[in-house]
Amino acid sequence: MGKIHIEKDRETRRVLHAFAKSIQERDIITYEHSRRVATYVQRLARHMGWSRRDARNLASAALVHDLGKTWIANDILNKSAALSEEERRKMERHPIIGARILIGCDVDPFYVETVLYHHEAWNGRGYPVGLRQEEIPLSARMLSVADVYDVLTSQRPYKAALTKDAARDRLLQSSGVSFDPMVVQAFVQLLETHPNFTLPQHIYAIPPVMPRKTGPLPSPRSFITGS
Ligand SMILES: [Fe+2]
C-alpha cells in the first residue's frame, strides 16, 4: 500500500468521523444504529474476502450512511406513526443529501456511491434511483443487508426487536427481492458461525429536568467579600 493511500485514508476517516460526531449530536438512535451497522458490514466484508483496509473503509462509509437524516426535520425524523406520502418523500431524500455533503468534501467516490445507493433494492424498487441488481454497487448491496438486519433486531417505541433467527428468516424471505442473494447467503453464514453476532442495544431516555431551586436568589453583595 502506497504512502499516499494511507494518508488519503486517514484524511477521509477524519472527515467521516467528524460527520459521525454530528450525527451523534443530532440523533443518538441513528448514531448507535450506524455504529452497529458499521461493525456488521465490516465483518461481512472480511467474510466475503475483502482486505482489512477495504473492509475498514466500508465500515467508515456505514458510519455516515444516514448522514442526510441530520437535515430532515424533527417532526418527520422522530415520528413514531406511519409517515404521510409527502413526509416519506422527504425522508427518502436522505441518501441524496448525504451523498451531496460527501461530494462537497472531496472524498473518494466509493463513499459517495455507498451512501447514495444504500436504499436501492435488488428488484429495482428501491430509492433514490431505482437501480437493479449489479447496477447497484456491491458496497451498497452489502450495506443494505447489514442496515436492515440492525433495524430488524432493534427495539423501537413502535416495535419489538426480532431475535437473530427471526431476522435471518426475514432476510432470506427478501433475498432476490430487496437483497442480492449472494450477499444474503454470506451474511446468513456469518450469523450461523457467530453465536453472539447481534450487538447490544442501548436504550436512551430523556434525562429528567432538575427541579428549580426555590427561595430568594442570593444578593450579589453576598459574593463580595470585605464590603
Ligand atoms: Fe438510510
Cell numbers placing 168: 435471518
Q: What percent of the chain has pLDDT over 90?
A: 75
- From the list 127, 29, 21, the residue with the least C-alpha distance to 64 is 21
- Angle at which helix 52-63 crosses helix 3-26, to 10 degrees, equals 30
Mean of pLDDT values over 151-162: 87
Cβ(136)–Cβ(117) below 8 Å: yes
**Alpha-carbon gap, residue 99 to 32, rounded angstroms:** 20
How many A from CA of 36 to the centre of ligand 1? Answer: 13
Q: Which three cell numbers stand for residue 169?
A: 428468516
Nearest-10 crossing angle of helices 28-47, 3-26:
150
List the grid coordinates of 99.
451523498
pLDDT number for residue 208: 47
3-class SS of residue 179: strand
Strand partners, 151: none
| Rounded distance from Cα 4 to ligand 1 centre (Å) | 31
CA of 92 to the centre of ligand 1 (A): 8
Question: What domains lie within the chain, and their CATH numbers?
Answer: 3-223 (1.10.3210.10)
SS3 of residue 103 by DSSP: helix
**Position 212 pLDDT exceeds 70:** no
Helices vs strands, H then E, count in the chain: 10, 0
The cell for 137 is: 454497487
- CA 60 – ligand 1 centroid, Å: 15
pLDDT at 159 over 70: yes
pLDDT at 156: 79
Residue 127, all three cell numbers: 430509492
Q: Choose between 52 and 226: higher pLDDT.
A: 52
Q: Distance from the CA of 95 to the center of ligand 1, in angstroms?
A: 6
Q: Give 5-31 pLDDT, tens digit per residue.
A: 888 888 999 999 999 999 999 999 999
Q: Are 144 and 178 in contact (CB under 8 A)?
A: yes
- CB 65: neighbour CB atoms within 10 A? 29
Query: Does residue 176 come out as left (phi exceeding 0), alpha (psi in the -120 to 50 range) or beta?
Result: left
Count CB neighbours of 86 within 10 A: 9
Give the C-alpha separation, 98 to 54, whole Å. Answer: 21
Cα of 130 from ligand 1 centre, angstroms: 15
CA distance 147 to 165: 16
- 25: CA distance to ligand 1 center in Å? 17
Record the cell numbers describing residue 166, joined without a space. 427471526
Q: How far is the CA of 142 from the centre of ligand 1 (A)?
A: 13
Instruction: Indicate whether this model's pTM tops 0.85.
Output: yes
Residues 73-129 pLDDT 10s: 988 988 878 899 999 999 999 999 999 999 999 899 999 999 999 999 999 999 999
40-78 confidence digits (pLDDT tens): 999 999 999 999 999 999 999 999 999 999 999 988 988
What per-residue confidence (pLDDT) applies to 2?
Answer: 66
Enumerate the β-bridge partners of residue 179: 175
Q: What is the pLDDT of residues 161-199, one digit of tens each?
A: 999 999 999 999 999 999 999 999 999 999 999 989 999
Q: How far is the CA of 65 from the centre of ligand 1 (A)?
A: 6
